[in-house]
Structure formats: C-alpha cells, structure tokens
C-alpha cells in the first residue's frame, strides 16, 4: 500500500499536471496531495476517490496498480435494475433538490407523508396514534443541518448486505450510512464481535467502530482493503465504500452535472446533503418494510419533470 502515493505522483506527472492542478480538480489542498505522494500521510477513502476523480481514473485502475485485483475483483455498478425497484439514483437526488427549490412546501410534504406511513408501519401496536405534526417535526429536524436541532432520521436496523449490494448493482446511490450498515451486516454474518473482528482483520477496533457509525472521514483505504481481504468479500466492500466516498464528497453529483463540465469537486453544501440523506433514508425504510411502493413510483413521476 505504501506505493500508492508514488503511483499517484507518477500518474499526475504522466498527465502533465502540477500539484496545484490536481488540487483544483480533486478539491484537496496542495499540501494534502504532497503529503500523500511523499508517503507522509495515509490515504483516506475520501482522499483517494477525490484524487481518482481529479486524475480521471477509476477504482479498477487503483486496484490493478495495487495488484489486488485477483483478490478483490471489482464489482462494477452496472446500472441494471434488479429485484429492488425502489432505487434512488444520483439523478433522482438532483431532481429532488430542484423540486425542493421550486416547490419547497410540496417537496417537504412528500417526505413527511412518506415517513409518517413508515412510522405507522413500524410502531408498537400498543402505542397511541401517531401525530402527523410529530412526523413533520422529525423531518424538519433531519433537514436542518445548520441548526442545533439537526437530527437525521434513524437508519433502518437489520438491513441485509444482499439488499445493499443489489442497490449498488442497480445503479442506486450508496451513502455512508449504507456503508455502515453493510460493514455491520458482514461482521454479524461472520459471527464476529467488534473486538474479534479487529483481531481477525488486524484493523483497529476504533476504525471498525467508526465505519459502523458511518464516519468515513478518517478511514484509510488500507483499512478497507484489509477488511475486504480478511472477510473475503470479493470486491463488494471496496466497491460499496468507493461509491459511498464518491457520494459523500460530491463526486458522484459532479459527474452528472455534465452541463458544467469540467468542474472542480465542490461537494454538497450541508443542507443539500441533509435533504439527500433524508430522502434516501426514507426510501431505505420503504425497502426494509416493503411498503409504500406507490409513493416511490409517484415521486419518481414528479421528479421526472425536474430531471435534466
């Protein structure tokens, strides 16, 4: 893994780019890139996906250079619809943000009504009737990323790794919360506690715990590949982690904004990301509970008017 920084430097030079050019294209600072190239800094997942975007290389190129393709065959996102029909793509997310800017009340009502159905289907039968006002407050708090009251909608427990893999293969957005659920599901399928998994994979307990909390910022690519190899996941963890990194950093978003190409990685603003996460999490609940499919069909019909 030490040679990754050296390889990044060689690719940059082959493409005739100075560090400042790669900094502009990737969204990383020149100092960050310099530290990575001189092996003075570990390469985080978010950093490698940004650099790959800036150099116009793909995950398969990185794996091939690291000579781990034989161990981690790249699970490419095919964009083919699988059994899971309620897929949210990055294009859907962009259309929803345009929908919100145009009709904010209607867009929020779509989220509130959908989440209220979820709460009704996921509550204790002894609980009193749920208030739609309470649901509205929950959704409002989940979209107020700049407020002290910000509180994301909880992610559904028990999401199976097969479901997340299917979403990925069908071209759906993968978030860091999907990645967290995937790592936890894989660990539990292996019958390992956090501590046992740390011992088995030689990845620190804290790193695995951060992954399962959806904290990708300080996770190194080395740690992801170590988990992948130890658990023999055939490339799925790397692919899903890469997709989550591209979504979190805004790279997947930039890739669909073809009318503004070439465009440096600017990512999301925090409120846009909060709205995106709220939409996707509500859809994940629908998938987990197998309910409200008509809502997703109708929402996609509405979003078709805001697609570019």
- Tens of pLDDT, residues 163-178: 999 999 889 999 999 9
Encoded tokens for 299: 């929402």
Under DSSP, the state recorded for 44 is B
Q: Quote the pLDDT of residue 215.
A: 87
Q: How far apart are the two ends of the chain, measured CA to CA in Å? A: 40
pLDDT in tens, 270-307: 889 999 999 999 999 999 988 878 888 899 999 999 98
Sign of CA dihedral 18, 21, 23, 29: positive
Q: pLDDT tens digits for 178-210? A: 999 999 999 999 999 999 999 998 899 999 999
Cβ neighbour number for residue 74 with a 10 Å cutoff = 20
Q: Quote the CA–CA distance of 227 and 221 in Å, as a whole number.
A: 10
What is the residue extent of each domain of the chain?
A: 3-65, 72-308
Q: Which residues contact 203 (CB under 8 A, 6 or more apart)?
A: 197, 223, 226, 227, 230
DSSP string, 6-38: HHHHHHHHHTT--HHHHHHHHS--HHHHHHHHT
**Contact criterion met (CB below 8 Å) for 275 and 100:** yes
Say which residue, 181 or 81, is predicted with more confidence.
181
For residue 253, what pLDDT is reported?
Answer: 87
Q: Quick one: pLDDT band at residue 64, thresholds 50, 70, 90?
A: confident
Q: Which residue has 């289907």 as its token pair?
A: 121
Exposed (0-12), middle (13-18) or buried (19+): which is 126, by Cβ within 10 Å?
Answer: exposed
278, 111 Cβ separation under 8 angstroms: yes
The answer to whether 3-65 and 72-308 have equal CATH topology is yes
Q: What does the DSSP assignment read for 122-175? A: SS-TTSPPPPHHHHHHHHHHHH-TTSTT--PPPPPTT--HHHHHHHHHTT----
Residue 261: half-sphere exposure toward Cβ, Cα within 13 Å: 11
- Give domain 72-308's CATH superfamily: lambda repressor-like DNA-binding domains (1.10.260.40)
Q: What is the pTM of this model?
A: 0.88
Range with the poorest average pLDDT among 43-52, 101-110, 214-223, 263-272: 263-272
* Region 3-65: CATH code: 1.10.260.40
* Residue 149 CB partners (closer than 8 Å, separation 6+): 141
Number of H helices, E strands in the chain: 17, 0
Please give the average per-residue pLDDT across 231-242, as a whole number: 86
Q: Which of 6-10, 57-61, 263-267 has the lowest mean pLDDT?
A: 263-267
């Amino acid at each position: 893994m030490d040679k990754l920084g050296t390889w990044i430097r060689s690719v940059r030079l082959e493409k005739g780019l100075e560090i400042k050019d790669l900094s502009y294209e990737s969204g990383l600072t020149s100092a960050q890139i310099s530290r990575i190239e001189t092996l003075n800094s570990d390469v985080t997942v978010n950093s490698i996906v940004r650099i790959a975007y800036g150099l116009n290389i793909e995950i398969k190129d990185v794996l091939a250079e690291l000579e781990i393709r034989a161990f981690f065959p790249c699970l490419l996102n095919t964009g083919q619809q699988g059994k899971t029909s309620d897929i949210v793509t990055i294009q859907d997310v962009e259309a929803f943000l345009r929908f919100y800017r145009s009709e904010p009340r209607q867009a929020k009502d779509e989220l509130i009504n959908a989440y209220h159905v979820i709460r009704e289907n996921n509550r204790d039968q002894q609980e009193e009737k749920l208030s739609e006002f309470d649901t509205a407050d929950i959704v409002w708090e989940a979209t107020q990323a700049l407020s002290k009251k910000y509180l994301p909608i909880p992610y559904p427990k028990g999401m199976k790794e097969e479901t997340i893999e299917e979403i990925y293969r069908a071209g759906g957005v993968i978030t860091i919360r999907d990645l967290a659920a995937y790592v936890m599901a894989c660990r539990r399928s292996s019958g390992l506690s956090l501590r046992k998994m740390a011992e088995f994979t030689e990845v620190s307990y804290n790193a695995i715990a951060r992954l399962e909390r959806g904290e990708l910022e300080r996770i190194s690519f080395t740690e992801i590949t170590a988990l992948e190899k130890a658990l023999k996941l055939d490339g799925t963890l790397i692919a899903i982690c890469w997709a989550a990194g591209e979504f979190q950093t805004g790279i997947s978003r930039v890739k669909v904004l073809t009318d503004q190409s070439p465009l440096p990685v600017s990512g999301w603003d925090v409120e846009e990301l909060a709205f995106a996460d709220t939409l996707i999490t509500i859809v994940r609940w629908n998938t987990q509970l197998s309910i409200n499919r008509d809502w997703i069909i109708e929402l996609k019909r509405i979003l078709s008017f805001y697609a570019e």
